[in-house]
Amino acid sequence: MSIERPLTLPQEEQEQRPAPAPTTGGGSLPERVWRYLRYILRNIRENPILYLMVLPGVLYFLVFKYGPMYGATVAFKDYRVLDGIVGSPWVGFEHFETIFNSFYFGNVLANTLIISSFKILFSNPAAILMALLLNEVRTQWFKRSVQTVSYLPHFLSWVVVSGILFALLSPSNGLINDFIRNTGGKPIAFLSDPNWFRQVLIASDMWKSAGFGAIIYLAAMSNISPTLYEAAAVDGASRWQRIWHITLPGIMPVIVLVTLIDIGYILNAGFEQVFVLYSVPVYSVGDIIDTWVYRRGLESFQISVASAMGLFKGVVGLVLIVSANWAARRLTGSGIFN
């Protein structure tokens, strides 16, 4: 009778295995920080090539993302170009008080939230519907052709799209107004009528983003096991029942994740789209935070006030992103960033 020895790795392999990451428990906060820094330095010495590959990306974010954040101090100063950021005097929260007491602040914030909310309510379901329809197509050449045509608008700039919209919606010679005029109706100024401007924004965003957004859901559908559809077909389930009971539950975590990410960026109502389409008559329904910052910062040269509004938007966006990440982890088991 032989006694089995415990399975152990050779000494050489044990030495090559990376040391486990230090746990957060035990010791004071400075001790844990220094222990973690030593762990990172040890990893750098053991894997220098990998860290060299990461270095360009890290430098990019440090130089172009984190470095410019110093300019946010302009929001707390009376910025003067000749004095620069350092020489300009501090004024505290004066510019934030100016913003919150402004007559336009409530209207601009409401427009931003309304436009973003309607984009989430319509554009995301349009992408899901597009993905469901494409997933049911069995003729591959037709499926690929429709998919290609549907996501091409995503690669068009809003300047090009605005030209297409002007050609379609012009009150004088637009194709849609020509049709309305020929059927006995009166031409509609879609882009300068406050009653129609938001509808144009939502519809154009759906047309531009639905096809490309469907790619995410098609990728999620490809992970659903085909045996589930085969078993459902054997049990007599119709195509609609298979979509409702298999496809939609299978992609529900992705739907929740994408929706929560969109909610986290709800204050980004689409600067480029609104900027190339709006005009003075529709400011009451189309002026958003980004366009207001552009006019105050560049046209009126109120740099500090515009920076304060931008900082307010950034802080609110950060809170929403963190909240969305927490909600995603509670609902789907995985967060936005992990």
DSSP string computed for 37-63: HHHHHHHHHH-HHHHHHHHHHHHHHII
Q: Is residue 295 part of a domain?
A: yes
Residue 228 CA to residue 236 CA, distance in Å, equals 13
The pLDDT score that the predictor gives to residue 44 is 86
Is 82 among the domain residues? no
* Model pLDDT, residue 200: 93
At which of 33, 50, 76 does a domain end? 76
Q: What pLDDT sits at residue 158?
A: 93
What pLDDT was estimated at residue 15?
A: 47
The pair of three-digit structure tokens given for residue 261, joined into one six-digit string: 């990410």
Beta bridge partners of 84: 80
Six token digits for residue 109? 């914030």
Residue 87: HSE in the Cβ half-sphere, 13 Å Cα cutoff: 5
Supply the pLDDT for residue 80: 84
Q: Judge if 182 and 102 occupy the same domain.
A: yes
User: Do residues 72 and 110 share a domain?
Assistant: no
Burial class (CB in 10 A: 0-12, 13-18, 19+), 123: buried
Phi, then psi, of 90 in degrees rounded to 5: -80, 140
Domain match, 184 and 257 both: yes
The pLDDT of residue 13 is 47
Q: What are the tokens at 229?
A: 């559809």
Q: Where are the alpha helices (DSSP H) in 152-282?
A: 158-169, 175-182, 197-221, 226-234, 239-242, 248-264, 271-277
- The verdict on 189 and 261 lying in the same domain is yes
| Same domain, residue pair 33 and 143 | no
Q: What's the domain count of the chain?
A: 2
Same domain, 328 and 260: yes
Range of the domain at 69: 24-76
Instruction: Say if residue 105 is in the same domain as residue 53.
Output: no
Output the CA–CA distances (angstroms, integers) from residue 197 to 71, 170, 204, 248, 280, in the order listed.
35, 13, 11, 33, 12
* pLDDT for res 3: 46
The pLDDT tens digits along the chain (338 residues) read 444 444 444 554 444 455 555 555 555 667 878 888 888 888 888 888 988 998 999 999 999 988 888 888 888 988 888 888 888 888 888 889 888 888 888 899 999 999 999 999 999 999 999 999 998 888 888 888 888 888 889 999 999 999 999 999 988 888 898 999 888 888 888 999 999 999 999 999 999 999 888 999 999 998 888 898 889 888 888 888 898 989 998 998 888 888 888 888 888 888 999 999 988 899 999 999 999 888 888 777 888 888 898 888 888 888 888 887 787 777 767 666 66
Indicate whether 217 and 312 sit together in one domain.
yes
Whether 284 and 107 have beta carbons less than 8 Å apart is answered as: yes
* 188 assigned to some structural domain: yes
| pLDDT (0 to 100) of residue 130 | 92
Q: Residue 172: helix, strand or coil by DSSP? A: coil
Count of all residues that appear for the chain in the document: 338
pLDDT of residue 1: 44
DSSP annotation of 81 reads: T
Predicted local distance difference test score (pLDDT) of residue 217? 92
The three-state secondary structure class of 77 is: strand
Q: Are residues 51 and 104 in the same domain?
A: no
What is the model's pLDDT at position 59? Answer: 93
pTM for this prediction: 0.78
Which among 145, 143, 121, 148 has a CA at the least distance from the CA of 133? 143
State both tokens at 189.
């100024």
Region class of 305: left (phi > 0), else alpha (psi between -120 and 50), else beta: alpha
Nearest Cα to Cα of residue 261 among 120, 50, 53 = 120
Is position 6 within any domain?
no
| Judgement on whether residues 215 and 187 belong to the same structural domain of the protein | yes
At 29 the pLDDT is: 64
* pLDDT recorded at residue 102: 84
**CA 247, CA 92: separation in Å to the nearest integer?**
54
